[in-house]
Structure 1
Amino acid sequence: MATSSYKRHLAKTITWRIVGTLDTIVLSWIITGNPLTGLKIGAAEVITKMLLYYLHERVWFNIGIKESRKRHIYKTFTWRAIGTLDTILLSWFISGNPLTGLQIGVAEVITKMILYYFHERTWYRINFGLDRRRERKSWKKTS
């Protein structure tokens, strides 16, 4: 496997974490009414979610589903299941209230799935870390 694919997965991890953390902070703040709680939950997620997202990307890199829209939808659902469970547990731990954790987790199911789908579609159009796809495009132009 090319080293550049690892760079791509790290770049996707970082960009998604920025989007996801901002979403979590805002939702947590709205649900708890406390901006500090939102910041604490968002900060905790930076660590757990980056690790989980990177592992998710590595697994999906080796899965044989090639058609992009189906692949992105499947990835959206698998990532959301992992991400929501992580958010529920962290929110419960930080707020001390299991209902708060559940409310934040359920709210972000909707916002994060929409945001994640568009994140995937955007990265699908970017060649960074995909030497093979870039080479194929170059080959087609010269034929």
Structure 2
Amino acid sequence: MKFRKRHLAKTISYRTLGTLDTLLLSWFVSNDFSVGIKIGFLELVTKMILYYFHERFWFKSKITDSNRRHILKTFSWRGIGTVDTFILGWLITGNPLTGLKIGGAEVITKMLLYFGHEKLWYRIDYGLDQYTRKTKKIKTK
């Protein structure tokens, strides 16, 4: 219970970055600004829910090595996120190929954004207590 404010803060901060990225990529791939807006705002909801549960799962993980943890989290989240974007792109445009193009385009940009986001949050102690910082070996500053 006590770490949920951290997970919520991480969810909101990453979703802001991710939504802007998806909106721009969807607009570019579809050549239609309204498609970018629709996919961007729909995924705002779906991905916040998915990200929150992904974060809860990884918080309970016993993997404490910083780089290994960030890389594994990056790939697991990207898999979930890409499938979500593909489905939304397909549903909104009616074309599975457009959904695939949008989902494929965001794989690289989102992995880079997510990895950087994780590295930053690993250094922030917001929502952690002293015990957690020691047992998780979380480095602050």
Please, what TM-score do these two structures have when normalized by structure 2? 0.92
Q: For residues 40-73 of structure 1, what are the alpha-carbon distances to aligned partners after superposition, in whole Å with 9 as ceiling and x for unaligned?
A: 0000001100000000000001110001110000
Check conservation: 1:16, 1:116, Cα contact below 8 A: yes
Q: Look up the equivalent residue of 1:106 and give its one-letter code.
A: G
Give the SS at the match of 1:114: helix
Q: For residues 77-110 of structure 1, what are the alpha-carbon distances to aligned partners after superposition, in whole Å with 9 as ceiling and x for unaligned?
A: 0000000000000000001110000000000001
Q: Which residue of 2 aligns with 1:66?
A: 64
Q: Which residue of 2 aligns with 1:22?
A: 20
Hey, what's the Cα distance between the residues in 1 that align with 2:133 and 2:20? 35
Q: Which runs of 5+ in 2 are unaligned?
A: 135-141
Q: Look up the equivalent residue of 2:65 and give its one-letter code.
A: E
The number of equivalent residue pairs is: 134
Q: Which residue of 2 aligns with 1:36?
A: 34
Please, what TM-score do these two structures have when normalized by structure 1? 0.91
Cα distance, 1:113 vs structure 2: 0.2
Give the SS at the match of 1:65: coil
Q: Which residue of 1 aligns with 2:51?
A: 53
Identity score, percent:
58
Q: Look up the equivalent residue of 1:47 and give its one-letter code.
A: V
Task: Tell me which stretches of 4 or more aligned residues in structure 1 moved more than 4 Å.
Answer: 133-136
Q: Look up the equivalent residue of 1:117 and give its one-letter code.
A: F
Give the SS at the match of 2:88: helix
Question: Any residues of structure 2 matched to 1:101-112 within 5 Å, and which?
Answer: 101-112=99-110
Q: Which residue of 2 aligns with 1:83?
A: 81
Distance 1:59 1:134, change over 3 A: closer
Q: Give the number of the structure whose alpha-carbon radius of gyration is greater.
A: 1
Q: Look up the equivalent residue of 2:72 and give its one-letter code.
A: Y
Question: Any residues of structure 2 matched to 1:84-99 within 5 Å, and which?
Answer: 84-99=82-97
Check conservation: 1:127, 1:133, Cα contact below 8 A: no
